């Protein structure tokens, strides 16, 4: 049985503002349909991704900005960060995690969620180990994204 993740639903407060942000970030516009005064669905896909995002009016009851730890995998985190910055997206500096290969920590609004071994160390992982270098950004509502550099996948991926 194949189980393919294809869509992530994001909670946003302003559909047009979110749509503009994600288009500016380079996401492809797939669908923008208004079905009624209470229901609008916007569907976008990150470049090169098989998984898309949707948001809109009447789509989800979660608090805007509550989606965290959304990973975008890139082959060069410094290059991806630079491209987003040139598009006007505020992105953290590149960092690696003191405790290992998977950065679990994130920040959104006034909240900082990190364990004691998850200190951010400036710059990419010194060995450029796959899965070990990151940059983060948030959409206008605070939904949190992580750029993660992977140049060589684990077996079976």
Given strand 28-36, what is the order of strands in its sheet? 7-9, 52-57, 39-45, 28-36
Rg (CA), the chain: 16
What was the pLDDT predicted at 109? Answer: 46
How open is the CA angle 110-133-90, to the nearest 5 degrees?
45
What was the pLDDT predicted at 59? Answer: 97
Is residue 114 over pLDDT 70?
A: no
**Highest mean pLDDT of the ranges 67-71, 79-83, 99-103:** 79-83
Q: What's the whole-number average pLDDT of the chain?
A: 89
The CB-side HSE value for 72 (13 A sphere, CA atoms) comes to: 24
What was the pLDDT predicted at 111? Answer: 47
Is residue 105 over pLDDT 60?
A: no
In which residue are the tokens 């302003």 written? Answer: 14
């Amino acid at each position: 049985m194949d189980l393919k993740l294809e869509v992530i639903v994001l909670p946003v407060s302003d559909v047009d503002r979110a749509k503009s942000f994600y288009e500016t970030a380079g996401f492809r516009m797939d669908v923008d349909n208004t079905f009624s005064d209470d229901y609008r669905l916007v569907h976008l896909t990150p470049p090169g991704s098989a998984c898309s995002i949707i948001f809109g009016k009447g789509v989800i009851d979660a608090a805007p900005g509550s989606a965290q730890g959304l990973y975008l995998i890139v082959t060069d985190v410094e290059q991806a960060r630079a491209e987003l910055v040139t598009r006007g997206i505020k992105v953290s500096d590149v960092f690696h995690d003191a405790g290992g290969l998977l950065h679990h920590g994130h920040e959104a609004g006034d909240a900082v969620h990190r364990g004691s071994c998850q200190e951010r160390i400036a710059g990419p992982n010194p060995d450029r180990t796959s899965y070990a270098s990151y940059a983060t950004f948030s959409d206008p509502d605070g939904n949190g994204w992580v750029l993660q550099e992977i140049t060589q996948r684990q077996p079976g991926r």
